[in-house]
Amino acid sequence: MAKKIIIDCDPGQDDAVALLLAFASPDELELLGITTVCGNVPLALTQRNARMICDIGGQQHVPVFAGCAEPLQRKLQTAEAIHGPTGINGIDVFEPQTPLQNKHAADFIIDTLLAADAASITLVPTGPLTNIATAINKEPAILSRIERIVLMGGAMREGGNCTPSAEFNIFVDPQAADIVFRCGRPITAMGLDVTHQVLSTRDRVARIRALGNAVAIATADMLSFFDRYDTLKYASEGAPLHDPCTIAWLLRPDLFVARDCNISIETQSELTMGHTAIDFWHVTDRPANATWIYGVDAPGFYEFLISRLARFGRSA
């Protein structure tokens, strides 16, 4: 039976590829809905971008919701320097046919979970955790329905990507991340330690483009833009493909290396705000609350991603 998932995202080129990978995997994943949050760009753009990706992937029937336009307590920090002013530079923006649902994303999460069996729905957040924390705060009864939360966020050995200490998704809303990491449900966290191993090299992007279908070409166009900032910053061969690691882990956990440990969020210090304190060596008595993913078979990841993107050609 396909695993029921809700993707909570802030597209974002890498969020977009995560959505496309999920679209390409209907036998394993039943996508109940896409909830959008402010993050890489303001909410008005992330919800529009998510609907564009539904159009591009031929998934106009998937319900898309807009959620929180501001973090719980802090002022929104966006990331146009990385993603471009549209959030999804690399492809031309258009007004999508996929409609925006008339319900707040947090209420969609609450209503869907309350109607579900215990431990039956997996949440996949690939942006700041504001919508998820808002839903938990508003209706804690949803917690028992969550099978697992598979999120992109955090950093240990890599250090931060927007401050020396913090990864972007956690930094934008550390109070929300704190609520999520203390919620008591199983969590899988994909941080920079693993996503920085998954590089969209020119060769890999060329292989995606060579698939020749419209989705693959849009993916290659997005990744070609996404490349510019990170390759300069890290002097790497390509940009890290952060968010698709979440969906890839659900589909192919064998590609990843994991360790259960405690992850706690810094919410007090301005200097290290949003830092993920990861007890990788179990040097505290804080109980494990997450599975921290820190290694990946990157060539295997790209073989898998390319094989899934090839499916769009078959159905077109």
The residues that touch Ca ion, with contacts defined as CB under 5 A, are 10, 12, 15, 126-127, 243
State yes or no: residue 47 binds ligand BDR (CB under 6 A).
Answer: no
Q: Which is nearer to Ca ion, 126 or 264 (CB)?
A: 126
State yes or no: residue 154 binds ligand BDR (CB under 6 A).
Answer: no
Q: Which is nearer to ligand BDR, 37 or 255 (CB)?
A: 37
Q: Which is nearer to ligand BDR, 39 or 57 (CB)?
A: 39
Active site annotation includes 282: no
Quote the least distance from Cβ 150 to ligand BDR, whole Å: 13
Which residues within the stretch 65-104 sit at the binding site for ligand BDR (CB under 6 A)? 79, 82
State yes or no: residue 173 binds ligand BDR (CB under 6 A).
Answer: no
**Span near ligand BDR by CB under 6 A; candidates 7-15, 93-101, 174-182, 226-234:** 7-15
**Span near ligand BDR by CB under 6 A; candidates 10-18, 51-59, 139-147, 202-210:** 10-18
CA nearest neighbour of 92 among 206, 244, 216, 218:
218
Active-site pick, 61, 242, 275, 282: 242
- Which of Ca ion, ligand BDR, none sits in contact with 178, Cβ below 5 to 8 A by type? none
Quote the least distance from Cβ 75 to ligand BDR, whole Å: 17
- Which of Ca ion, ligand BDR, none sits in contact with 161, Cβ below 5 to 8 A by type? ligand BDR
Rounded to 5°, the CA angle 237-39-251 comes to: 60
Dmax over Cα atoms in the chain, in whole Å? 53
State yes or no: residue 227 binds ligand BDR (CB under 6 A).
Answer: no
Q: Which is nearer to ligand BDR, 110 or 278 (CB)?
A: 278
**From 158, 193, 230, 243, residue interacting with ligand BDR (rule: CB under 6 A):** 243
**From 104, 185, 242, 275, residue interacting with ligand BDR (rule: CB under 6 A):** 242
Q: How far apart are CA 290 and CA 78, in angstroms?
A: 27
Q: How far apart are CA 305 and CA 21, in angstroms?
A: 7
Residues with catalytic roles: 242
